[in-house]
Chain A
């Protein structure tokens, strides 16, 4: 077993790593949120007087106490830090109670009362878009918050040419990130007026934007620090930032440090989730299995607020049918407001849902056309030079979809396993066995949905040790470790020589959010630029000492080499540069290659490159129990280049198990009035250690010429295709198809008596 490098593992196994709630400050007060019993209502009164008079209470703040904007957001500025006149979801917070102790704050929060006139509650996207439905977002004519299209060719007329048409409806539920650490935000007002923020947040710069918007402050007056974060998976952006902003609201009013720690039920009730999808697909195939036409319509439930729905639905449009070639398509993806808990970024970001649909359609067509699932994919797969459904020609990187699929298929023995599948006829033990496969491609980084750039600094000290800082943040995935490894390889120094800044919003400029599986790619790209610049500075300073005219300096084996046996240790080099008054410091940037997008027809170069993936599983379905056990999982991903292979494997394992939870057990429950029922892990079942088998992960490396380090990404590719692989395996086992998640095995008619 190759040992793993993590710069934060030692403190994490010793219990000394400091997560937000592990921090405390002198004179620190404690804030808690106040919710109401309403889901959708007009507020007539919020009564706080009794709470204000409770022991230890320092402040009870409502919307009236918010100095800046009442609402903020990543795209639309619509999320209220504290609601003013209208409650739109069960997660809405009406007041913040701050007291000397948390217990006192909790006791006082009970005394805040909310009076309101209920409005009709809409929990279903189809209901929300009906004529006359009550409009939930402020200032919009209806509940459709965005509409992305893909328009290419003549799908209607081409559908008539199809030998086979598959028409199917698919549905996916509300899914919770279930990071193990609930939200926590701390604000420490500094004597110079600056606010220092610590928090369980995904991206400090995003938190700073929220805090400054709500508090009406310039960005430069708030410093958000980074420290250990107990997982995010896309889920610690908006809500976690708003928790920090509420702590800041209290801290600025009191002039004291304030901690706002969420318990699990608050986190479950308020934090955004994965968008539920309803998808209608009509797919036409030729006799030989080639896709000839797709017409699709998708409703994505944004919940009560916008968050990132316009972006995640864009990915659902751009990757609407997965990694296949098709000239004729019409796809419509709508973001729709409801009174559900709002939805936003979650690992996968709009692709797990569409993959769940279309990867099953591929299998359904294969069965009807008497092709194997592999053969139908081979015939439609994007290859070098293919054109995507958005008109992008894939001619500038290795399009390895078939390579990764064949790797997965041969590793698991797919053709043989599929032959052995039960197809609804139980084996001697009464169980049904099946194998399934799925493929995907995933546009790297954020693509045409936003501005894509990042930065890093590399700073050699005068004793030769190295400080680095990258505007990519640690959420548990091991980003700084990957950055250190990349730098150590580029400079030829051991990882121990490099010290990673606990980056903050004051130590480095904003590099864009740590999202979209982009950390290693964009951070690595920025480091490459910084190191290239640094090498020029060092070479210029030391050339007289080390080389003759026209010769190059080399950085290897923990030394700096010139010609004719001349070399310097880093310590010697650092000293010499000091004496020469040279700063061996470089700031590097990564600017993503250009992407294009025409919103009117959904055509353009959506992403500068793609990750290619394939996963296959074997399952055993028990008709008596109505249960499904996954027996074997194989995954292959072309991630360009592996930087820290054990952590890469960890991303693949973790992503698959998280996605398998979505496939088989996870569904966030709300009652018919929109109140959350899945408020803790006893009511929201994420996978446990006994639920899934060991995973065989194959890492395919075709270094990407569009990435300065050759690296792509893995966080989301690992998760986005396991649910259709499992669904296809369940279909092979049972001979029946499930088109909703989580797969309800009990709903199938499997017993002989039925």
Chain B
């Protein structure tokens, strides 16, 4: 690999990082409040689909992003209703969301675009700039900005303190006058809305169309990045860069070198890193203590 090729792989990695990073940082916020959402894969798909639909229908990429955001927030609201208010099983709700989105968007391709595989290219693609001849979305720098904002929100505001309180000890939080339900609802919706933006980026920005099941596990990779991060937004960003680079390296080997055999190890390395990180006991101690557990007052 020449230095130029390495630099190009780096840029490709940053493009690939955005979807995972936004999703993972959103999930860090939700999980710090005690709500786990394994339906991220479904949110990515559903919002990616709706973003393309809105983009083509209105001819505006901004409408596409807003549609993705709205879809994410709506699905987050649904998940919160089940997990927080109905005190349902969060894993099962998430699995349901993934299955429904996979089926729903596939059906949506057929219903709207008349084929079984993909949408036409979007009518309007968000503006971007060139680095070394590679198209780079403005979402790349924006993702770093979101990371700083999310970190500030969690670590430097009273709202962040409330989120951590309800995620670690909802009974005490209740006694401190914090509404466990409302705080969890807000964190879950905010987290899912970020995943919605990530889904929109993936379809209208990163690829330029919607392809059947195009999220290809990125929602789960984001969950891995959350665990890798030790429930910290900046760690999640770092993890996402590692995953993005793994993605870019494997793309480099398949498309530039034409060797798919070498591609797989590079895709695997991030997972091995995650496994190692997560299996360290010191790491598990950082998990929000009431993660996945509904709060019941009486």
A pairs with B: no
